[in-house]
Amino acid sequence: MRNKRMVLICIIAVILNPLVFAITPHINKGTLNEISVETACTDLKISPEKLKRFETEYTKDFFDLIFNGFKVEKIDIFRQTFTETKDVLYRVMLEGKAGWVLTGDDRIQYQKVYFKGDNGKTNLLYADFYWTDIVHGTKERHEIRKNVMPIIKHNKIAGIMVYEIESYVTYKIIDDDLNTDKIYSDDTAAEVFWSDDLSSADMRLYHGAQGDAEKFSAGETTYNNHAYDYQELKPDITIESSKPLIDEKDPFKYTIQNAFDKNSATSYVEDTDDDLMSIEFIFHRYETGKAVSIEKISLINGYAASQKLYFENNRIKTFYFDSYSINFGKNEEKERENFLKSYKDIILPESPAEFYFSIPKLSFNSFSFSVDAIYKGNKYKDTCLAEFNFYGKDYGWFFGESK
């Protein structure tokens, strides 16, 4: 960790120099090996043109690229392998210029993630901006960073977590010098998608958009809000959390996915004014009239990579749960009240060991984990959480097996 004031200065410097980021993607699991376009095309059985294609069906915010085009100037491809499974991911990193509507000369990095199962079948799981920078007139700069992490269960990749950071900077120009006026960063967010078979799962965010996009680019139609067939893919879980600490060289080093990567050497680290944190889980099964049953929770406190880092940083001392269900009846509401009374101001021992909590079997549509007191670090003021997981009969351990 580092002094938060210095991190703020570094964030500003990074935003003013978008080329500071390497094209190598951040990963939490497995090993990356760079491969050639030819090798990737052979492994995935696709053409170089398709490998470099901008996937409008998978990308939420592609309109700016449609308006003025995206020219690929650099491509790097990595094969990601794992000790826990024979499944493989291929990360295709495209970099180039995008003719943004308002600026005309911003660069972007775009990532595509292909899945290859042990049966040899391949599938495009994800495609979206890895990093982009948008200037709104002369007043505001909007930066987006997005990435994806596999969730490995029972020796296979059972799902993916898509996580992102959004940052906003307002600035003013005086005598041709760029002086930063103010910086504001949004809370981090993540979405989890499960599938029994990722080799055939349709993970597109918008279906039917490609044909209209090609017609628009060819001048055969004009843009309007009805030209695209919006059918957004719903996540199984949405995760919202407090603002994370941002490392200037590796923006995803301390963000929310670390709490679910089954690696106690990484941690989700907050950057809030009071050094507290909260995480909310929203289960989207409620749209089918079902809630999610949770029976156990496990967590690893602090920055558990080493005893030294553990005591240098803040750790969680007490926390509490909250929950909500759209189907709470009279009996269920009473059970919820008893549950909340029983799991209020829970005290964690001073240890980086994994702790388990059995809870009453209740069905939730959402629940939250909130920290209300901390053990203070002897060097840094950052509060850290190494791992968080929960167990339900329908899903097992949600983010990979615990003891």
Span 160-189, pLDDT tens digits: 999 988 664 544 443 344 444 444 445 568
In 31-154, which ranges are continuous DSSP H helix? 37-44, 48-51, 63-68
Virtual torsion, Cα 275, 21, 249, 385, nearest 10 deg: 40
Q: How many other C-beta atoms are found inside a 10 Å radius of the C-beta of residue 356? A: 12
Tens-digit pLDDT profile for residues 270-314: 999 999 999 999 988 655 556 788 889 999 999 999 999 999 999
Q: How far is CA 237 from CA 88, 282, 333, in A?
A: 24, 6, 23
Tens-place pLDDT, residues 247-268: 888 889 999 999 999 999 999 9
Range 240-257 burial, b when 16+ CB lie within 10 A, else e: bbbbbbbbbeebbbbbbb
Q: Please tell me the predicted confidence (pLDDT) of residue 213.
A: 44
Which residues lie closer than 8 Å to 290 by C-beta, 6 or more apart? none
Q: What is the pLDDT of residues 376-389, one digit of tens each?
A: 999 999 999 999 99
Q: What is the three-class DSSP state of 225?
A: coil
* Stretch 351-365: mean pLDDT: 84
For position 1, what pLDDT does the model report?
59
Q: For residue 229, which amino acid is it?
A: D
d(CA 146, CA 128) in angstroms, rounded, equals: 7
| Distant-in-sequence contacts of 333-340, Cβ < 8 A, 24+ apart | 335/360, 335/362, 336/362
CA atoms within 13 A on the CB side of 68: 13
Contacts of residue 226, Cβ cutoff 8 Å, sequence gap at least 6:
none
Strand partners, 191: 162, 238
**Averaged over 128-134, what is the pLDDT?**
75
Taking Cα atoms as reference points, which of 140, 146, 78 lies closest to residue 108?
146
CA separation for the pair 264, 354 (Å, rounded): 9
Tell me the per-residue pLDDT of 7-23, one tens digit each, with 9 for 90 and over: 443 433 343 444 444 47
With beta carbons less than 8 A apart as the criterion, state whether 181 and 120 touch.
no
Residue with tokens 């750790």: 315
- ∠ Cα 203 27 153 (to 5°): 60
